[in-house]
Amino acid sequence: MSEAFSAFAAQVRQHSPQLAVILGSGMGTLAADWPVLAQLRYVEIPGMVATTVVGHAGMLTLNAVAGVPVLLFQGRFHFYEGHPPQQVERPVRLIAELGVPHLLATNAAGGIAMTLGPGSLMAIRDHLWWKSPADAVQFQSPRPSVYSPRLIGLLHEVAASLELRLHQGVYCAVTGPSYETSAEIRAMRSWGADAVGMSTAHEMETAAKLGIEPAAISLITNAAAGMTGESLDHHEVLHEAARQATNIGRIIAGLATRLAATT
């Protein structure tokens, strides 16, 4: 274990954050809005590597969010980068190792439901896998959603206090890196999906298995393929995510203060 990681871990344990947040595409700039208590590059953390996707800085920071310590992951790992499940879930396992009990994952997603236009926020109540990697698929009996009803309730309370509309729906996880075809989006809608993206599902399932209470919010940055006839572009996704990230930040701050008040 490196000295840098040991020092960072000591800072985290000293401050005892109740919430860890994985910031999705284009949302890493939120970390600059809050005072930094400690920071570390992913490459300095045992078992983690550099991020490769634009909009994912690859930095782990401990920030004072509205005066409350919060662990922020600026970027995540995706299956489409060629990472195995163990790498994709490594940040979540690190959260467990550091003793942080709650996780809020955020992502940029395409809206499938007609009510979810660009800029909409959606609390994820359940997910479905569209193209799971073979080694991540587990055939088993029906099981409940891994998303915490308690945290979803708190997210709605926070959004209401901020006069923000927070939708709730089902997230469809695909492996990427290509966007979906119009036919796939129609099929996903028939399955009950409200939004689609290339992350989050595996992280949430890992968190639940490790005893971390998980929740997730999708920031709708664009209409899904075939919904408007317009082409999709990652740079446009990043631009919309950065433009709308302020509201995500306000929700993170509200959730962090509520969780801190209950400990």
Catalytic residues: 25, 56, 78, 80-81, 108, 198-199, 222, 235
Residues 6+ apart with CB under 8 A from 6: none
Question: Residue 200 belongs to what H/E stretch?
Answer: none
187 is in an annotated binding site: no
Neighbouring C-beta atoms of residue 213, cutoff 10 Å: 18
Look at residues 91, 82, 87, 127 and name the one whose alpha carbon lies nearest to residue 218: 127
> Does 2 carry a binding-site annotation?
no
- State yes or no: 77 annotated in a binding site: yes
Under 8 Å CB-to-CB from 42, ≥6 apart: which residues? 48, 49, 50, 51, 58, 59, 60, 75
Q: Who contacts 131 (Cβ-Cβ below 8 Å, separation ≥6)?
A: 174, 175
Q: What is the rounded distance in angstroms from the CA atom of residue 221 to the CA atom of residue 81? A: 21
Say if residue 5 carries a ligand binding annotation.
Answer: no
Largest CA distance in the chain: 52
Type of residue found at 24: G
139 annotated as ligand-binding: no
For residue 42, the 8-state DSSP code is G
Residue 145 assigned as binding residue: no
Annotated ligand binding at 167? The verdict is no
Residue type, 221: T
Is 56 annotated to bind a ligand? Reply is yes
Annotation-wise, does 240 bind a ligand?
no
On whether the CB atoms of residues 219 and 108 are closer than 8 A, the answer is yes
Neighbours of 52 (CB within 10 A): 13
Q: What does each C-alpha distance from 173 to 18, 26, 78, 196, 255 come to in angstroms? A: 27, 18, 11, 6, 25
Binding residues for phosphate: 25, 56, 76-78, 108, 199
Binding residues for a purine D-ribonucleoside: 180, 222
